[in-house]
Structure 1
Amino acid sequence: MTHPRRRERAEGLARRLGLDAVVVDPSPDEAPSALRTAVRAWQAVGPGASHHLVIQDDVSASEGLLSQVVRAAQRHPTEALAFYTHWNSRNGAAVRLAALAGAAWVRGVPEEFTPTQAVCLPAAQAEAFHRYARGSAEVHDDEILSELLRKEGRMGLMAVPNVVEHLDTDSISGHAWHGVRRSACLVDAAGSGDLLGAGRVLDSVDCLPYLRRGAAHLRVEGPDGALGIRGHSLWRDALPATGLDPEQLRELVHGHRPADAAAAVARHFGAPYADELWIHCLLLGWRAACLAPRFAPPTGQDPLGGLGERIRDTAVSTIGVGGLPPADRQSVTADRSRLLTEYAWTGVRAGRTLAAPAPAGHTTSRP
């Protein structure tokens, strides 16, 4: 799906990936609306198709994308499947958590938009989206897709190794203020399709550490599984619901946070961000360690196979840069990005040492 001013780019992408059609904004002179074009794109289901894939024009992907999508759809034939997640979103944080725990897919966060840069839906669901969205006054297709999935009672699955990347382009829909919008865990490598076709699913995330506006947050569901739409809780406020001991966290911060790295991060990005980033990574490492036994094969092999180390390294490498304010991401040098990554890993590793019970409720996986 594309806009006339990007049509040439979209047609080139379609040819390279083997897509069979390009759908263009039907009213490009009107106010920008991704949904207006998406309605047309999701309507274009081929006769007899079991699934329908829609890709936006501002992405990159390898020529093997279609085979990866086919493997994934065969494995999860009734699911909405997203192959990209934004590095500063809760879904992106869920992908990182799943990566560190050993899952190849993770269920989307219900109260957040579903990233639509590259999505595959069962044909019947694609048609349902078209019917549901065509009369909406909303302009964001990602919000409407989440709305539909919530009504259906099951969010989509997010690929843990993202195999699609968002490009730095002008934003027709007015999203330039979001800054650089990269993948949370881009690992488009040989073997990604096999992993997406065979790896396990983190089927719900009832306790999710994430960064928002440079501050560490925790998404924790209540006993009934309910969580207010768009609700955000700072980690200090949500901590009592996790069963973690605040004093134990303070001891880890004082005893395990590397002073030199913390000072360097503070010098470049501010002391508050250095503090919040490390606490976020501490909580992420703890939560991933709680979940990891669910995905560990009895053979002791890496649950993510030969890509496991690369996936985990990539997931952690996007935390620090992705969590910065949008205006600051573009100017992060390679050296400072490495500093943020090394610093993030110290928090993740420290979090793994937390000897605490999992939070109330159960985060489940399925084959």
Structure 2
Amino acid sequence: MSRTAGHPARTASRPQQPPAVRLSATVMAHPRRAASAGRLARLLGGDAEVVYDPLPDGPSNAMRTAVEAWSRCPAGSTHHMVLQDDVVPTADFTALAVAAAARHPDAAIALYANSNSWNGVTARTALLAGYRWVPTVPYDYFPTQVALMPCAMAHEFVAYARPIVPFDGADDEALTRFLDERGHPSALRVPNLVQHDDQPSLTGLDHQGIRRSVVFMEAAGSSPGTDDACFHLLPALPFFRQRRARLRVLLSGRGRTQGYWTVGRGAQLDLLGMDRRRIAAVADSVVARMGESGGLPQRRAVTAAFVAEVYLGALGLGWAAARLARDHGRHMAVLPSPVHDRVLDSYVESGLGFDADLTVWRPHLGLLRELALRGVNESTGEGG
């Protein structure tokens, strides 16, 4: 079993009287993306500034530009926001970003998370349980595609990060370390307020596959539930990568030992009250429907194996979300809706991994979403 360390969640509590927020914004960009950076700055309006990589022909180093961007918090601002040049904001983005800062005025806030990241896994599970906010997780990079923080914290981060620019170009990992070491709270909003566009990565991350929002506000509409933040460690992290659905379960040991452990397939099935024959039978019925509707996307054995993982993964997703909801006195019901459809679509996408595979499977994505919804509801007691 592999282990991911667990840490107590740190998030900002909701203030009784949210302070007035004066939010400034900077777009961090590379000259090769000047056109998209300029469009983004114009969408933001006001005094949004574009800050370009000061050494554009040098080695790839996001930190180099991030430090300059975070240092541009003007006098009179309470909070500063930095956006990368390859994001597409939702409608009313600026107003929603200001509301986010008012909701968590003392936190570093992420308005995006990759669907296949640990932050994405956590946000997806919490959203199904009715939450819109979770702390970012300390064992993942902080999603810096769009982030905001109080200006004092931004200045502190610049002082922390500038000396390590020549040695460490990963601004997202540095921000995670900074928050952990300094004890600053964090918050991640879901549905996300931006979508990652399809431009090639400038830092060599295309090999990681699909890089899109766990659920984008523009596509999902308003999210269900309240504006509640999830202050609790999740009982499990259901993740789906490289066509394999796994479950990391929160375990506590002696003393202060606590962490997430990836359980083996047998233990996974036992926790979900499922057996291999049942999963295979469900997968076979779905594969038969695919064949009737125009042919299989891949060889039958490969198709059936992936369909089975979609079903198993959805069972784990529903099980984790339902336990989170029930442990804290919440009711959970996942129904066909724009936001839940997008959550399940992104879950299937993260399991496929790459756009080339997504293209092959696209004619069957509606059927896979239907299967995922079935699995989620079966494991929450809402399905038949």
Task: Report the TM-score when normalising by structure 1.
Answer: 0.82
Distance 1:321 1:349, change over 3 A: same
1:77 is aligned, of 89, 101, 105, to 105
Equivalent residue number for residue 35 of structure 2: 8
Structure 2 counterpart of 1:276, from 309, 333, 338: 309
The code of the aligned residue for 1:273 comes to: F
Residue 260 of structure 1 is matched in structure 2 by: 285
Partner residue of 1:335 out of 335, 344, 363: 363
Shift of 1:76: 0.9
- Is the contact between residue 109 and residue 205 of structure 1 (CA under 8 Å) also seen in structure 2? no
User: 1:147 aligns to what?
Assistant: 177
- How do 1:140-289 and structure 2 match up within 5 A? 140-153=170-183, 156-188=186-218, 192=222, 199-203=227-231, 204-223=233-252, 224=256, 226-227=258-259, 233-236=262-265, 239=268, 245-246=270-271, 248-250=273-275, 253-254=278-279, 257=282, 259-262=284-287, 267-268=296-297, 270=302, 271-289=304-322
1:36 and 1:139 in contact (8 A); partners too: yes
Q: Distance in 2 between matches of 1:20 and 1:323?
A: 37
Q: Deviations over 1:282-332 (max 9, x none)?
A: 0111111122243748xxxx999xx99322221111111222133644524
Change (3 A) 1:23 1:15: same
Shift of 1:90: 1.6
What is the CA-CA distance between 1:132 and the residue it aligns to?
1.5
**CA 1:238–1:76: 2 relative to 1, 3 Å:** farther
Deviations 1:46-68, CA, capped at 9 Å, x for gaps: 11321110011001013511100
User: Aligned partners of 2:56, 2:285: CA distance in 1, in Å?
Assistant: 52
Aligned partner of residue 222 in structure 1, secondary structure:
strand
How far residue 255 of structure 1 moved from its aligned partner, in angstroms, is: 9.4
Q: 1:219 to 1:333 in 2, by over 3 A?
A: closer
Q: Is the 8 A contact 2:318 2:375 kept in 1?
A: yes
CA contact (8 A) 1:87 1:181 kept: yes
Paired residues of 1:179 and 1:329 also in contact (CA < 8 A): no
Residue segments in structure 1 that go unaligned for 5+ positions in a row: 355-367
Which secondary structure does the structure 1 equivalent of 2:137 belong to? coil
Between the aligned partners of 1:264 and 1:149, the Cα distance in structure 2 is 49
Aligned partners of 1:234, 1:326: CA distance in 2, in Å? 25
Residue pair 1:316, 1:341 contacting (<8 A) in 2 also: yes
8 Å contact from structure 1 (residues 281, 344) kept in 2: yes
1:32 to 55, 60, 65: 60
Two-structure CA RMSD over aligned residues (Å): 3.1
> Which runs of structure 1 show a deviation greater than 4 angstroms over 4 or more consecutive aligned residues?
189-192, 262-267
The 1:309–1:338 alpha-carbon spacing in structure 2 relative to 1, beyond 3 Å, is: closer
The Cα of 1:226 is off from its aligned counterpart by 3.5
The separation in 1 between residues aligned to 2:333 and 2:271, in whole angstroms, is 32
Quickly say closer, same or farther: Cα 1:156–1:30, change in 2 above 3 A. same
What is the aligned-residue identity percentage? 35
Give, in whole Å, the separation in 1 of the partners of 2:359 and 2:221: 33
Moved more, 64-73 or 216-225: 216-225
Cα distance, 1:237 vs structure 2: 7.4
Query: Conserved in 1, the CA contact under 8 Å of 2:80 and 2:151?
Result: yes
Using the TM superposition, give the Cα deviation of residue 351 of structure 1 relative to its aligned residue in structure 2, in angstroms: 1.3
Amino acid across the alignment from 1:227: G
Cα distance change, pair 150–277 in 1 and its aligned pair in 2 (3 A): farther
Answering whether residue 121 of structure 2 is matched by residue 93 of structure 1, we say: yes
Map of 2:82 onto structure 1: 54
Aligned pair count reads 339
Task: Tell me how far apart the structure 1 counterparts of residues 43 and 279 of structure 2 sit (CA, whole Å).
Answer: 52
Residue matched to 1:291: 324
| 1:362 corresponding residue in structure 2 | none
1:327–1:186 CA distance, 2 compared to 1 (3 A): closer
CA contact (8 A) 2:209 2:354 kept: yes
Mark the runs of 5 or more structure 2 residues left unpaired by the alignment. Answer: 1-27
Structure 1 or 2: larger strand share?
2
Contact 2:234/2:320 (8 A) holds in 1: no
Q: Shift of residue 221 of structure 1? A: 3.3
Q: Distance between the aligned counterparts of 1:10 and 1:60, measured in 2?
A: 10
Determine if contact 2:279/2:312 at 8 Å carries over to the other structure.
Answer: no
- Contact persistence 1:258–1:346 (CA under 8 A): no
Q: Which has the larger radius of gyration?
A: 2
2:259 match: secondary structure: coil
Q: Compute the displacement of 1:178 (Å).
A: 2.1
Distance 2:266 2:64 in 1: 40
- Residue 364 of structure 1 is matched in structure 2 by none
Instruction: Letter of the 2:143 partner, please give it.
Output: P
Deviations, residues 112-159 of structure 1 (Å, cap 9, x unaligned)? 111111111121221122112112222121111112122234562221
TM-score (norm 2): 0.78
